[in-house]
Structure 1
């Protein structure tokens, strides 16, 4: 648990449309959570951020951003991309089998406490923000 869990914080990492951004985002998230004393959330948070950022980079043509925030005992991880189209609804994990694609949002839904998306403009570009939340144990 963080030393001062009542103080909210937020970080944003703007990333290019480059698959290497997924690794940079994951490692940055690990550092942020470790520095805030949230090491118990790191593994699941990394998985969720990886799926969100990978979707943003893979399916959109422009820049993207990772946003991580903490407030009232809840960690929110989100990815913005420049594609205003809603994400495909996640399928049930059981129905995915050994599929190589299409499991990202299914993992997000299964591993987070809450998830969603909303239209959001950034840097003068229309896009969307897909987010999920994890409550501290």
Structure 2
């Protein structure tokens, strides 16, 4: 076995508290870190894996759990590790249909990663997954391709730009019109809405009232579009 292949070429660690509002922040930090390393091509998959691993801790260990995220590159593998202090609550791979609200987390990680697993320690566990990199990724900074914007009105164009800012400009490429692309877009949209709600609450606004008003606007405009010639 070549020991050199297991020596990290790049390594990054970030401690955090497992709270729902921290998940989008983790995604942004990972996106920026991979951009620094020239691994933009893996950004969407890595962010989805981080989201699911962190959400598993929140759901099964509990909100507020102290945890840490470790990301490293060894050889041709990007390794993502999430450490939490509960060695009893183990992630499992279960079957979940497309409409399920939960239960698809590790199934998504399993689909995205080349391999994944769990390491148990006396007072903690590490859930990890690995994505395959390309040899040239760490030596060449890739240039993001301009996204293809969806057809539609001003609102759709604005939404596309915002979502692309959360997804490295990859969400609307035709090559990503798969279920994975749809899930990436949904995750980015949830992050956008969550961040807006945090901002509104921080500035003293009634978030429930604003959500109701936004829903009313949406339904009104959608209904008008449906009856338009």
TM-score, normalised by the number of residues in structure 1? 0.83
- The answer for the alignment partner of 2:171 in structure 1 is none
Aligned residues: 126
Contact preservation (8 Å) 2:78, 2:130: yes
Contact preservation (8 Å) 2:23, 2:54: yes
> What is the alpha-carbon distance in structure 2 between the residues aligned to residue 74 and residue 29 of structure 1?
15
TM-score, normalised by the number of residues in structure 2? 0.51
The Cα offsets for residues 35-77 of structure 1, whole Å up to 9 and x where unpaired, read as 0100100011111111011112332242111110101021001
Measured after TM superposition, the shift of residue 8 of structure 1 is: 1.0
- The answer for the alignment partner of 2:9 in structure 1 is 8
Equivalent positions of 1:1-137 (< 5 A) are 8-61=9-62, 62-92=65-95, 95-120=96-121, 126-137=123-134
Which has the higher Rg, Structure 1 or Structure 2? 2
Moved over 6 A (4+): none
> What is the alpha-carbon distance in structure 2 between the residues aligned to residue 98 and residue 31 of structure 1?
31
Contact preservation (8 Å) 1:8, 1:71: yes
> What is the alpha-carbon distance in structure 1 between the residues aligned to residue 57 and residue 102 of structure 2?
14
Measured after TM superposition, the shift of residue 80 of structure 1 is: 1.1
- The answer for the alignment partner of 1:3 in structure 2 is none
Q: Which has the higher helix share?
A: 2
> What is the alpha-carbon distance in structure 2 between the residues aligned to residue 109 and residue 70 of structure 1?
19
Q: What is the root-mean-square deviation in Å for CA atoms of aligned residues?
A: 1.8
Comparing 26-35 with 78-87, which one deviates more in the overlay? Answer: 78-87
> What is the alpha-carbon distance in structure 1 between the residues aligned to residue 81 and residue 18 of structure 2?
16
- Gaps in structure 2 of 5+ consecutive residues: 1-6, 135-229
Contact preservation (8 Å) 2:52, 2:106: yes
Q: Which has the higher strand share?
A: 1
- Gaps in structure 1 of 5+ consecutive residues: 1-5
Measured after TM superposition, the shift of residue 82 of structure 1 is: 1.5
